[in-house]
Amino acid sequence: MLWELTSDQEFFRQTTAKFLADQVPVDVLRRLRDDAVGYPERYWERGAELGWTSLLVDESHGGGTISGEGIIDLTVIAYEFGSHAAPGPLATTNIVAGALSTAGSCTDALDSIAAGTELASWCLEEPGTRASLTDVSLDIRADGSDVVLSGVKQPVESGDQTSHLLVTGRTGSGVTQVLVPTNSPGVTITPLQNVDLTRRFSTVRFDDVRVPQDRVVGEIGGAAEQIERQFLISALLAAVESVGAMQTVFDLTVQWAFDRYSFGRPLASYQALKHRFADMMTWLQVSHALSDTAAAAVQAGRNDAAELVSAAKAYTGHYGSELMHDCVQMHGGIGVTFEHDIHLYLRRQTLNRSLHGTPAQHRQRIVEAMEREKNAA
């Protein structure tokens, strides 16, 4: 990341980086390929002890930040997750914890989620094309002292490992969020395949799932603003993770270009490759700058936060893929083998490119925002 970290933030970053290097080095990541959970035993609970899960939780609920800016602190961890291709539902757990803390709801669940003893995941996206990235069709209706949920969510990260699901659905003309225990009657969770070795996703079906109204997070039909902010944070963290993966792959490739000789000369000495490295450095620096600027805008709640997040998500999605593919090509045949490390980061960037909106969808969001600004002028 380009901005200067405070001493506390830098210590937080270094502690996380050391923990990830010790607990999930690349040889462990490969072994986790067929693991149902995707990370070692007690890994997530120990990460919570380091502060991974409570940065968006108010101090009155046992949370706290490093710098007083929880979203920016969270991007520091997300960057390290990308740099190490680390496992674990970082974004979705923090989204749920932050939502519960903001609403002051379901504090019993919040305590265990923040402590890392239980997992929770946000259910926003649905199969098929939507009018917008935050549009939903899952039905949530009030019925006496309960609410009833009917619909399908996909993909849901760590869905089959969670104890609670924060479900976003439609109530009449508004939107509602409900915290649903995964063991509720009518909840069916089906694991999905994905390109990443250590992240796990599921399809979750809700067939007339009934929960008490005290599990509603916020107001019935009045969650639109909170959902948009949650979406911005999720998309931002995906972009930041991608930048971390891009930086690691770029550094690996630069080192390779100096170490690998061809016709008696290091690869780095060839002019054609120098031009490609210059392009990649440009993409990388712009990705850093965009994601940093977007994080500051979301933290401050600025009016341009949504446009900046979409710019960062679209740019890192597009040029992250370009950079990754160039780096694979520069490694030659070894770059496409399972034994080489580069594919671990390519997988992470490829997954994050599609999560929370593709580059094309985020470019469309920018166009729509510009049109709204023009019409309002």
Successive 10-residue mean pLDDT values, the chain, 377 residues: 82 96 96 93 95 94 91 97 97 97 92 95 90 91 96 96 97 96 97 95 98 96 96 98 98 94 87 94 97 96 96 98 96 91 97 95 94 86
What is the reported pLDDT for 105? 87
Second CATH level (architecture) for the domain 121-215? Beta Barrel (2.40)
Tell me if 113 sits within 8 A of 53, measured CB to CB.
yes
Helices then strands, each counted (H, E), the chain: 11, 9
| Domain 7-118 falls under CATH 1.10.540.10 | yes
Question: Which parts of the chain are beta strand (E)?
Answer: 120-123, 139-143, 146-157, 164-171, 174-181, 187-192, 201-212, 261-262, 265-266
Contact 356, 309 (CB under 8 A): no
Ramachandran region of residue 208, left (φ > 0), alpha (ψ -120 to 50) or beta?
A: left
| pLDDT tens-place string over residues 121-155 | 999 999 986 778 899 999 999 999 999 999 999 99
Q: How far apart are CA 160 and CA 17, in angstroms?
A: 27
Q: Are 158 and 91 in contact (CB under 8 A)?
A: no
> In this predicted structure, what is the pLDDT of residue 248?
98
Burial status of residue 224 (CB atoms within 10 A of its CB: 0-12, 13-18, 19 or more): middle
Per domain, the residue ranges of the chain are: 7-118, 121-215, 224-376
Give every CB contact of residue 49 below 8 A, 6+ residues apart in sequence.
Answer: 116
pTM assigned to the model: 0.95
Specify the pLDDT at position 2: 61
What's domain 224-376's architecture?
Up-down Bundle (1.20)
Q: Can you give the pLDDT at residue 364?
A: 95
